[in-house]
Structure 1
Amino acid sequence: MHLNHSPNQNIILEHSSIHLAIKREDLIHPFISGNKFRKLKYNIQQAQSDNAFRLLTFGGAFSNHIAAVAYAGKEHGFKTIGVIRGEEIGFKPELNPTLLFAKSCGMQFKFVTREIYRTKTESNFMDSLKTEFGDFFLIPEGGTNDLAVKGCEEILEESDLIYDYMCCAVGTGGTISGLINASKAHQKILGFPALKGDFLQEDIRKFANQDNWELVTDYNFGGYGKIKPELVTFMNSFKDRHKIPLDPIYTGKMMFGIFDLIEKGFFPKDSKILAIHTGGLQGVSGVNDLLKRKNQPLINL
């Protein structure tokens, strides 16, 4: 996979001594965006080394990961299978922009109930998938495994040593683990979980080799996929002012949290903060479809 340059873009904060920059990982590839590019890099290499010809993974209806695996499979000559959470989606997948894109890349879908989806790591379910589809190279939900963390360690560059804090959204914990491993002792890594629950602490500790991190759990807006008008208003204002689009599941909540913490005086004077834009913009049009049906404010595309 070809990596485009991902520049750091400074954000102007009026009446503040804080320096904030965003690492534009959303720009490194047109379809395999941000942390998905990083997570898939070494998984794809391993699948090629194993002479695999089929990739299988898991995700929800608007999953950035599903879209990225579908395109990566197409780009590298793999067949791809997406096990999709929510059996009801299978009746009208054509109404979902993410699944439409993945299908156009050749991905085959298996729609399962949420109850069955919760058993996705159990051996009986895995055996049934192998019986149905044959051998495959397994990429976990969200892409997080040792190979993914190795890829995410490459997000940081030598020039990023100037930053005191580095912030990222957290889903399955792979991206923040890579940042932790690549960071230096003087740096603090702040993770902004997109979902509720303390289980992420344990998941991150499986991969992280330093203790210079913490999770900021006040900005999930009610849980994974939960979107409130206040968040949409912030995202639209942010884009108008800084010309940087955000997604409502991950980066929007992270940036909302960073700005709120700055306003509350969380960061010491003259702190230098680097926020990681992990992409995820492909899902915005699908989210807007849901917001439109609820007569709620839309995200500016």
Structure 2
Amino acid sequence: MYNLPPALADVLTLPSPLESMTLDGSLARIWCKRDDLIHPIISGNKWRKLSQTITALGHRRVTQDSVHLISFGGGHSNHLHALAYTCFVLGYEFTAIVRGHYTGNETPCLQDLAAWSSHIIYTDKSQYKRYTDPSHPEHQASIQALQTSHPNAIILPEGGYSVDALAGSAMCMTEIATQLPQAYDQYSAVPQKVLVVSPVATGATLAGLVAAKYCDVLGIAVLKGQGYLEDNVSELLCDEHYDRDNTWWINHDYVTRGYAKSSPVLDGFITSWNAANPTLLVESCYSGKALWGLSELVKSGHLKHYTDIVFLHTGGLQATRNLSTNSIDKK
């Protein structure tokens, strides 16, 4: 089913567990898809978005030192952290192009990248935007120049945001479609109307879930981007030639003050939740914000027509490590 490279097959927990959980006021059965348990470092949707690329590389015939990956992110990037570790485990060369200059002030994330033999290139915001913003007039030329400098390298988009990322999230939904009926063995019923709920920062994970065409999908935005996020998802689904079979939408009511920013209400929810659920911890950047939103929507009755609601825990190691800095990268 997964066809993983041997070095990863031994360390990744796949399929990730599907566990029952409780939310106050819910008439539906609530479940948690524990993608945070896939691996301590290659966690959650970061692995899902990388899986197709890494799996394909792991099974092709290559000459020694022929695999070189390049990608982009900030100094606390979940994406760079997961990708760097994956390359380290597989023996691939990896170059991280990092927004900002951290020489002498390396974050825990960047310290790990260095320990895993990554090449780290710091760049200013202007050049970084040329690399990562497809609408920038110099984007194509900048990427071409980078490719020319590294002719054998594979350049991955910032945050793993691409059509290739959809396959991993679709696989997550395939797992849910298999696990949920099995979990019903303890009940005298079957799932009838299912909703999967996920945090949304770029839209790639949400698009993959929708593309699987199993059930309705709700994204809870963790940053300000109403309209922009919907456009991202629609564009990715269009590239996949998706014909809508199920409903999907994004709720923007729980962003609070913006990305990686909290509020007293959100902090209170997370503190109470983590105290009551020590084996299912959440944080304020991704999982906590989305779970808070889901909890409020359940209590308000907005989701009462669903028999089963599955919350996707997408991990977020760097968010946990860097909460005190209030400077976390969705990429």
- In the superposition, the TM-score normalised over structure 2's length comes to 0.79
Q: Secondary structure at the match of 1:29?
A: coil
Shift of 1:224: 2.0
1:80 corresponds to 2:115: no
Counterpart contact for 1:47–1:137, Cα < 8 Å: no
- 1:220 corresponds to which residue? 255
Partner residue of 1:192 out of 203, 220, 224: 220
Counterpart contact for 1:148–1:174, Cα < 8 Å: yes
Work out the CA distance in 2 between the residues paired with 1:116 and 1:50: 35
1:42 corresponds to 2:56: no
Shift of 1:147: 2.1
Q: Secondary structure at the match of 2:293?
A: helix
Counterpart contact for 1:41–1:148, Cα < 8 Å: yes
Give the paired residue count. Answer: 286
Shift of 1:50: 8.2
1:120 corresponds to 2:131: yes
1:183 corresponds to 2:220: no
TM-aligned CA distance change 1:17 to 1:214, over 3 Å: same
- 1:205 corresponds to which residue? 234
- 1:296 corresponds to which residue? none
Partner residue of 2:40 out of 30, 38, 44: 30
Work out the CA distance in 2 between the residues paired with 1:191 and 1:50: 39
- Which of 34-43 and 225-234 deviates more? 225-234
- 1:108 corresponds to which residue? 119
Shift of 1:142: 1.3
Work out the CA distance in 1 between the residues paired with 2:254 and 2:155: 32
String of CA shifts for 1:28-75, please: whole Å, max 9, x gaps: 122210111111111113345484421111112211111100001011
Q: Secondary structure at the match of 1:58?
A: strand
Shift of 1:232: 2.7
TM-aligned CA distance change 1:227 to 1:14, over 3 Å: closer
String of CA shifts for 1:158-203, please: whole Å, max 9, x gaps: 233636211001122221111112233xx32001122212212122
Partner residue of 2:164 out of 144, 147, 150: 147
- Which of 5-14 and 208-217 deviates more? 5-14
Q: State the structure with bigger RCO (CA 8 A, min sep 6), 1 or 2.
A: 2
Q: Secondary structure at the match of 2:261?
A: coil
The one-letter code of the counterpart of 1:280 is G
- Which of 113-122 and 257-266 deviates more? 113-122
Partner residue of 1:266 out of 302, 313, 317: 302
1:249 corresponds to 2:259: no
TM-aligned CA distance change 1:270 to 1:148, over 3 Å: closer
Q: Secondary structure at the match of 2:270?
A: helix
Partner residue of 1:58 out of 48, 64, 72: 72
Q: Which runs of 4+ in 1 moved over 6 A?
A: none
Work out the CA distance in 1 between the residues paired with 2:96 and 2:68: 11
Shift of 1:270: 6.1
Percent identical among aligned pairs is 29
Work out the CA distance in 2 between the residues paired with 1:270 and 1:175: 22
Unpaired runs of 5+ in structure 1? Answer: 292-301
Work out the CA distance in 1 between the residues paired with 2:95 and 2:263: 33
